[in-house]
Every structure is written in structure tokens, then in C-alpha cells.
Amino acid sequence: MAIELIPTGQGPADLIVASHRGPFVEDAEGGWRRRVNGVFGAMEPVMRVTGGTWVCWGLREEGEPHSERHRAVIVDDDEKFRVHEVLLTETEAKEFYEGFTTESLWPILFCFPSRLQFTPGLWDTYRAVNERFAQAIARQAAPRATVWVQDFHLMLLPGLLRKLRPDLKLGFFLHTAFPPPDVFGILPWREALLEGVLGCDLVGFHIPLYATNFARSCGRFLGAKPHWKRSNLESHALSPTLVCDSLVHGGRTVRLLSLGIGASREDIELLASDAATQAYAADLKARMGVQHLLLSAERLDYVKGPVERVKSMEVFFERHPEWIGRVSLLQVAVPSREGVPEFERLKDQVHQAVGELNSRLGTPTWQPIVNLGKTLPLQELVGLYLAADVCLVTPLRDGMNLVAKEYVLCRDDGSVVLSEFAGAAFDLPGAVLVNPFSPEHVAEGIHTALTLPARGRRRRFRAMRRVSRNRDLTWWRTAFMGQLEAL
């Protein structure tokens, strides 16, 4: 798909999607490429269908007279939607993104309080950026327009918008996990963040547990009144005993929705059925020269557990030496938050761990792990899905995890070894569930996946495929927007 962005005038929009950044990055030659990230990867196909205006942050050039930039997105010669950038200076962007959201919000939402850092002043930047978004949206939204806010970077935005434009219909979707109140409560700004989200009419989460945790925090810190129901969910590491579908706060009712995001089925299936992708996959499998290829693909991030996964591979080969020389893991680690010291250190740790394992067990013709520290074109990634016998998805915690769902959409057979702490574990019943904190447990999960009898494996795969096909991105968008419009 050829993408072009051209400057255009602003007009009132009936649908506005807001996220911290936009889906495209300009390259050195003035062309545009897609940003690799679960949120943008999901919302761009949504906007191609719905149209509307995507409000996000852009970087302000030195001395640039305007504080905002408005462009039309042309995909294959058709205008699909608009992108409206709120321009931040480099310092504002750094403090907002690498600062507050990365060092304070991210570790708390994923339950890693020991990684939390507080730098004085960053909260003020976070609030100021949310205010700038609110003003930009308030100016552009048509009367009674729908605004759909994405993710934790903009938690204050709904509350600010409700004050500026009470006529708007406001939805919010949290793409991350949401922790129990004991962990969320560590944030000194917990009340303001929750108040901000409760400015919405509808708040969406991937799974009921996150909605439950959010509602408990709203009850504890704001005195909001959640409406509880006993859950009839199957027993699972992520199943709460009580679920909440609405809460009352400040005289208003806010609906909560659990709606696991699905993969962009048309885009993925189209690439998987392409003869060039299939030829690439067959060639890759032959060149790797192993009986079974394992695949992991993710942004390089500690929540995805990349170092723990290398340890699990080591334990796997120690406990099952019969697989040495017959199994390799191809690990794609897309650079993420480059320049942030914590993430740079993680890259070094992964390289070191992979290097040590490869030099200890590898041979001139075989390596336990092949590590690719770059972004692949989507077609190549789909080629890897086709080539891999097992998809290894072992985040320590994950909101959903689309890689698992995309892998399943590409194939008729295969296995997914899946962390029981990824939202996807709730949606993919046929996966081999593992505890990613335990290398022994993951090692046994990999062995199980490789030795499942063919009939049982196909039955499990069919169960996952049914869910991934039926609850794809179109289903998710239609369900969320349908609920929001109905309020």
C-alpha cells in the first residue's frame, strides 16, 4: 500500500481518534513508513475504514511558526483519513514520552513497581500535553462528534475534554494491562489519572481482570460506586471472581467494556496467501536447516521478558538435549524506546545472553537462537509466521499480544506457547500456557508443543483459529464503536 501525506485545511470532524503518536514516520527521502507498535498497527486499518481525524503529537522544528499541522492521508491514491499533529518541542516530547509515560506509568500498569522512577516536573509536562490535545480536539470536533482516545499516554484527556466540550461522546481504550489497586495506588497522581479516564462515557479493556482492577481503584481512591457481578468465567490466572460493567461517579454512569483486540485479518491473510510470502517462508525454513523452527517477535521491552526467554531456551536444551541441533529460535526484537538507558541496557543484556548460549551450545552449522534486532517488513514477518512450527509468546505481562493471533491467522496447523499473563491467554484456548517467570515451566511448554500428537495439536489449533478469525480487528472496532454510539 502506497502512503502519502499531503497538507490540507482543517474541517470539523465527526470522528476523532487520539493517540500519543501517529501511525507513520517520514523517512530521509520524504517517503512514509508505518510505525511498528500494536496500537498504531491496529488503529491505522480502523481509520482506513472509518475515516475521520487522527490527533497525535508531531515534532516542532526550531522556529516553526505553527503549533499544529494538518494533513490528509492518501493510501493507494484515495484519501482515507486526516492526521492532525499537535507539535511539541523536543524537550516536551522527551519529558512526556521517554519521561513520564515510560518511567512512571508503564512499569505501574504492567505491575513492575520496582522499575518505577519519579523525576520532578514530568507530571506537569504530561498534564500540559494532555491539555494541548484537549484544546486541539475541542476546536476540531463537529457538534456531538465521537472521540476515541487510545491508551495510557492520554489518561487525562477525556476529563479535560468533557469540561471543554460536554456535547462530545467520549470513549477510551487501554491497550496495556491494568494492575490491582495496591500497585496502581503507588502513583502519587492516581486520583487525577482515574478522574481523567472517568470523563468518558465508555472505557474499554482487553480482559475482565483489567476492568475489575480499574473499578476497584476507582472505588478505593475516588469513592466511585462500581456495579459488581459475580463472574462465571472459567478458572484462569487472569479470571477475576467479580466483574464490573459500569460505575457511578460524580453523578454520571461510566460503562466499562472488556473487549480483547483482534488482529487485522484481511491484511495478514492477504500476505499469507501471497505466493512470494510462501516462497520466502519455504526458503527460510530450508536455510535454517532445523527440524522445528520456533519464532518470537516483539518490540524490545522488559515486559515481553526477552532475557527470561533466553534462559528458558537454555533450560530447554539442558532438560531435553535430544533437541540440540534440531530446534532453533528465531527471535525478532524490534527496537523500541531507543535512547532510553533502561531499554539500551536491556538490548545489551539480550545480546549477551544470546551470545553466551550460542557460543556454549552452537556449532559451525547450528545456533540455538538467531537474534534479529530490527524491524522487518510486514510481509517478511508473515513469512516467518508461515515458516515457524511454534510461536513462542512469553511476555511477563501483556495487555493482549497480537503476534499470537496473527500467527494463528496465517496457518492451518502449528502451536503457540503462550504466557498465562498475556491477555491473549484469555482468548486463545488451544495454546500451551506457561508461566514466563519460570524457565523450567517454559522449557516444558516448548517440549510439550513439539511433541503434541498431530490430532490433538490440530484440534487445539482449530480452536485458536476460530477465535482469531471471528474476533478480529473489524469485530473489535465494530463492537466498541457500536457500544459507544448506543449510549
203 binds ligand GDG (CB under 6 A): no
* 350 Cβ contact partners less than 8 Å away, ≥ 6 residues apart: 300, 306, 307, 310, 333, 371
Please give the torsion angle defined by the CA atoms of residues 183, 187, 192 and 195, in that order, rounded to the nearest 10 degrees.
-10
- Pull the grid cell for residue 318: 539442558
Piece of 114-122, 162-170, 371-379, 430-438 that binds ligand GDG (CB under 6 A): 371-379
3 binds ligand GDG (CB under 6 A): no
- Pull the grid cell for residue 160: 479535560
Q: Is 439 helix (H, G, I), strand (E, B) or coil?
A: helix
H helices of 362-416, in order, are 378-387, 402-410
As a whole number of angstroms, the distance between CA 343 and CA 33 comes to 23
The CA-based angle 213-166-59, given to 5 degrees, is 75
Piece of 30-38, 221-229, 231-239, 437-445 that binds ligand GDG (CB under 6 A): 30-38
The residue sitting closest to ligand GDG, measured at its beta carbon, is 38
Q: Based on CB atoms, which residue is closest to ligand GDG, 318 or 338?
A: 338
Q: Candidates 401, 415, 419, 468: give the one binding ligand GDG (CB under 6 A).
A: 401
Positions of E strands within 250-397: 252-258, 292-299, 327-334, 369-372, 390-393
42 binds ligand GDG (CB under 6 A): yes
Q: Count residues contacting ligand GDG (CB under 6 A)?
A: 26
406 binds ligand GDG (CB under 6 A): yes
37 binds ligand GDG (CB under 6 A): yes
Q: Candidates 211, 402, 418, 442: give the one binding ligand GDG (CB under 6 A).
A: 402
260 binds ligand GDG (CB under 6 A): no
- Residue list 171-190, contact with ligand GDG (CB under 6 A): 175-176
Within a 10 A sphere around the Cβ of 120, how many other Cβ atoms? 6
As a whole number of angstroms, the distance between CA 479 and CA 274 comes to 30
CA separation (Å) from 70 to 52, 165, 240, 378? 12, 21, 43, 27
Piece of 125-133, 345-353, 374-382, 457-465 that binds ligand GDG (CB under 6 A): 374-382
329 binds ligand GDG (CB under 6 A): no
Q: Based on CB atoms, which residue is closest to ligand GDG, 13 or 271?
A: 271
As a whole number of angstroms, the distance between CA 409 and CA 405 comes to 6
Q: Based on CB atoms, which residue is closest to ligand GDG, 224 or 403?
A: 403
315 binds ligand GDG (CB under 6 A): no
φ/ψ of 218, rounded to 5, equals -65, -40
298 binds ligand GDG (CB under 6 A): yes
Piece of 17-25, 31-39, 54-62, 281-289 that binds ligand GDG (CB under 6 A): 31-39
390-393 vs 415-419, strand pairing mode:
parallel
DSSP 8-state class, residue 96: I
Q: Based on CB atoms, which residue is closest to ligand GDG, 37 or 438?
A: 37
Show the binding pattern over residues 278-297: x = contacts ligand GDG (CB under 6 A), - = does not: -------------------x
Query: Nearest distance from residue 387's CB to ligand GDG, in Å?
Result: 14
DSSP secondary structure letters along 340-359: -HHHHHHHHHHHHHHHHHHH
Q: Candidates 75, 164, 192, 376: give the one binding ligand GDG (CB under 6 A).
A: 376
The CA-based angle 99-173-246, given to 5 degrees, is 125
Query: Nearest distance from residue 193's CB to ligand GDG, in Å?
Result: 18
Q: Based on CB atoms, which residue is closest to ligand GDG, 20 or 175?
A: 175
Q: Based on CB atoms, which residue is closest to ligand GDG, 358 or 375?
A: 375
DSSP secondary structure letters along 185-215: TTSTTHHHHHHHHTTSSEEEESSHHHHHHHH
Q: Candidates 170, 381, 434, 467: give the one binding ligand GDG (CB under 6 A).
A: 381
Residues that bind ligand GDG (CB under 6 A): 36-39, 41-42, 175-176, 261, 297-299, 332, 334, 375-378, 381, 398-403, 406
